[in-house]
Amino acid sequence: MLSAVIVLAIFGLVLAEAAPLIARVGPAAFFTDAGWQPTSGRFNLSPMLWGTLLTAAGALLLAGPVGVLTAVHGRFYAPPAWARVQRRVVELLAGIPSVVYGFWGLTVLVPLIARLAPPGPSLLAGILVLALMILPTVTLLADAALAAVPAEQLQGAAALGLGRWATVRGVALPAARAGIGTGVLLALGRAVGETMAVLMVCGNVVQVPESLADPVRTLAANVALEMAYAMGDHRAALFVAGALLTALAALLVALAAVVGRRHAHG
């Protein structure tokens, strides 16, 4: 209850800071202006919206399958002792602060990419770091969903003579679909909002990337980079970016709730 009030108050505050500028230049300006030069009155946020969507989607494309397969391996293939170790390691991965991932990305990953496909700080670097960061969320929630599959169903499959992989594919995964879907959407929410690590490895050039090696700037990185020194309209435009980001995250959470509920009942 209290946390709901706080969230609403924060969103209200962000909107209140953003509203005067939106009212003056119109909402379309944030998608159709000639560029992002906030101190010269050009407020196009769309390259950064693309940056956010592309890094998050790319990370999910990598972390989704890997995370689900890791969970399946832990539940159905690995010896129980090894599965426990694996689960602990994934939990540890979830607890590492994002700035540490960013630092690792900046000092190890980015120089590596720079050698293969310059300049180095890029969409690719962002995707890889983000994938690593959301992997635990996907894995742990998929693991929990698989653990919740009723034992009778699995025993039924075994009684029918189904092999291990057929059981996983035909029984366990369909039964755990809702939980896995929720996990994926929550992970996507984290990817969309992640700031520090992305800011350190993405290069932060405001542009729609043409290749994986191009630098990008995400909405969250934009706010973090410029807020400390922004004034007037520039500051208000950053609040617009914040509102957009909040709306995106809210959409994902709502979607996660819908996915979770539909399958729970159906």
Partner 1 sequence: MRWRAALALAVLAGLGAQAGCSRSEKTRIVLTGSSTIAPLMTEIGRRYEAKHPDVRVDVQSGGSSRGVADARQGQADVGMVSRALKPDEADLTGTPIARDGIALIVHRDNPVQALSRAQVVGIYTGQIKRWSAVGGADRDIVVVNKAEGRSTLELFLSHFQLKNEQIAAQVVIGDNEQGIKTVAGNPDAVGYVSIGTAEYDAGRGVPIRLLPLEGVEATHANVQAGRFPLSRVLLLVTKGEPSGPARQLIEFARSAEVRDLVEQQSFVPLAP
> DSSP states of the chain as a string?
-HHHHHHHHHHHHHHHHHHHHHHHH-TTHHHHSSSEEGGGTEE--HHHHHHHHHHHHHHHHHHHHHHHHHHHIIIIIS-HHHHHHHHHHHHHHHHS-HHHHHHHIIIIIHHHHHHHSTT-SSHHHHHHHHHHHHHHHHHHHHHHHHHTS-HHHHHHHHHTT--HHHHIIIIIHHHTHHHHHHHHHHHHHHHHH--HHHHHHSB---S--SSTTS-B--HHHHHHHHGGG--HHHHHHHHHHHHHHHHHHHHHHHHHHHHHHHHHH-
Task: Count Cβ atoms below 10 Å from residue 72 Cβ, excluding itself.
Answer: 22
Q: Is 38 in the site for partner 1 (CB under 8 A)?
A: yes
Q: Is 211 in the site for partner 1 (CB under 8 A)?
A: no
The residue (of 111 and 163) whose beta carbon lies closer to partner 1 is 111
In whole angstroms, how close is the CB of 50 to partner 1 at the nearest point?
A: 16
In whole angstroms, how close is the CB of 27 to partner 1 at the nearest point?
A: 22
The residue (of 5 and 228) whose beta carbon lies closer to partner 1 is 228
Which of 77, 107, 155, 261 contacts partner 1 by CB under 8 A?
107
The residue (of 22 and 199) whose beta carbon lies closer to partner 1 is 199
**43 forms bridges with which residues in the sheet?**
36
Q: Which residues does 206 contact at the CB level (< 8 Å), separation at least 6?
A: 35, 36, 47, 48, 217, 222
Q: Is 226 in the site for partner 1 (CB under 8 A)?
A: yes
Q: Is 40 in the site for partner 1 (CB under 8 A)?
A: yes
Q: Is 228 in the site for partner 1 (CB under 8 A)?
A: yes
Q: Is 35 in the site for partner 1 (CB under 8 A)?
A: yes
Q: Is 224 in the site for partner 1 (CB under 8 A)?
A: yes
Site map 134..173 versus partner 1, x via CB under 8 A: ----------------------------------------
Q: Is 204 in the site for partner 1 (CB under 8 A)?
A: yes
Cβ–Cβ under 8 Å, residues 105 and 59: no
Which of 200, 220, 241, 243 contacts partner 1 by CB under 8 A?
200
Taking CB under 8 A as the binding criterion, the range among 36-44, 91-99, 141-149, 167-175 that sits at the site for partner 1 is 36-44
Q: Is 117 in the site for partner 1 (CB under 8 A)?
A: no
Site for partner 1 in 55-94 (CB under 8 A): none
Q: What angle do CA 73, 94, 64 make, to 5 degrees?
A: 50
The residue (of 32 and 40) whose beta carbon lies closer to partner 1 is 40
The residue (of 117 and 173) whose beta carbon lies closer to partner 1 is 117
Interface with partner 1 (CB under 8 A): 35, 37-40, 106-107, 110-111, 114, 118-121, 199-200, 203-206, 215, 217, 224-226, 228-231, 234
